[in-house]
Amino acid sequence: MSISTPQASPDQSAGDSATSRRLLYVAAPAVISIVTLLALTALIEWGSGHPERFSSVGAYRAFMDVAVLARFGPAFLSAIIVYPAMRLRGASIGWAGWGAASSAIAFGLVSAVLALRFFPPAQALYYALNPMVVAALGSQVAFSALAEVFVRWRRHGRAGLRSPRLWAIVIAVATAGFALCYVGVIWDGGRHWFYVWIRGFMLFFGNGQ
């Protein structure tokens, strides 16, 4: 996208504006997912440990439970909506993939930023590689692959699903993505990847002091 300057002609400005609107239109699903993630994170930070800010303890608990669980939606599952929505709005496979993964990446970056309260910057950055983030990325990639099947069917009907290459790629990517998710949070509660991650930490930072 070019940058408008004071010398730009009216036609150029109109073109840039249209391009911006087009980009926003295509990227909107990913942006909405990220904003939802950030909003839920902020609400959890605001409410956690403060039942006095609610009308009752019951209301506090219900709000917190919903917010904590809902946050996993944009972090882990938003590709189910974001990927096909971006593709059907004209995004390439690559851009839709990035859009679908962006919430998981934002999840990691938000975690890293919040970790700055407790750890030095380099350690906080390493925090973005934690098993939850890896699992979220895996989940988003896997659902993106499955969503591509939906996109092909929507555009071309059954004819769009007849390519063996499509199925080979979808199965490979979805399997890899779900495997990451499984290792990150499901297999023994994710502790195996947790230990790998911590051993990696120790290689970089020793005991962290």
Partner 1 sequence: MNSVTRRQLLVGAAGLGAAVGVSACGSTTGGRPIPPPVDPTLAEMHRDAPSFIVILSDDHRADHLGLTGVAPGLQTPNLDRMAAQGVRFTDATVTTALCSPSRASFITGEYARRHGVINNLSAWDPANVTFFEQLAAAGYRCGYIGKWHMPGALPDLRGVDTFITFTIDEGQGVYTDCPLVINGVDVERPGTYVSTDLTDLALDWLAAGDPAQPTCLFLAHKAVHHPFSPPGDLEGVYADEPLMDMPDEAFTYQPLLERNVWEGTAGQLSTVYQRYCETLLGLDREIGRILDYVEASPRADDTVVIYTSDNGYSWGEQTLTGKRWAYDVSADVPLIVRWPDGITERGAERGAPVLNIDLAPTLLDLAGLDVPANIQGTSWAPLLRADDPTWRPEVYYEYFADYPYQVPPHQAVRTPEWVYIEYERGLPPELYSRADDPDQRRNRYGESSTEQIVSELSAALAQLRVAAS
Residue 111 engages partner 1 in binding (rule: CB under 8 A): yes
Cα distance between residue 52 and residue 39, in whole Å: 21
Q: Which residue, 70 or 169, has its beta carbon nearer to partner 1?
A: 70
Residue-level length of the chain:
209
Least distance from C-beta 111 to partner 1, angstroms? Answer: 6
Q: What are the C-alpha distances in Å from 134 to residues 35, 179, 181?
A: 20, 10, 7
Q: Comparing C-alpha atoms, which of 149, 151, 142 is closest to residue 86?
A: 151
Residue 122 engages partner 1 in binding (rule: CB under 8 A): yes
Q: Which range touches partner 1 (CB under 8 A), out of 88-96, 141-149, 159-167, 189-197?
A: 189-197
Instruction: Look at the block and give the residue holding tokens 């911006």.
Output: 20
Neighbours of 32 (CB within 10 A): 16
Q: Which range touches partner 1 (CB under 8 A), out of 13-21, 27-35, 170-178, 184-192?
A: 184-192
Q: Which residue, 48 or 92, has its beta carbon nearer to partner 1?
A: 48
User: Residues 11, 17, 20, 26: is their CA dihedral positive or negative?
Assistant: negative
Contacts with partner 1 by CB under 8 A lie at: 44, 48-51, 57, 60-61, 64-65, 68-69, 111, 114-115, 117-123, 127, 130, 132, 189, 191-192, 194-209
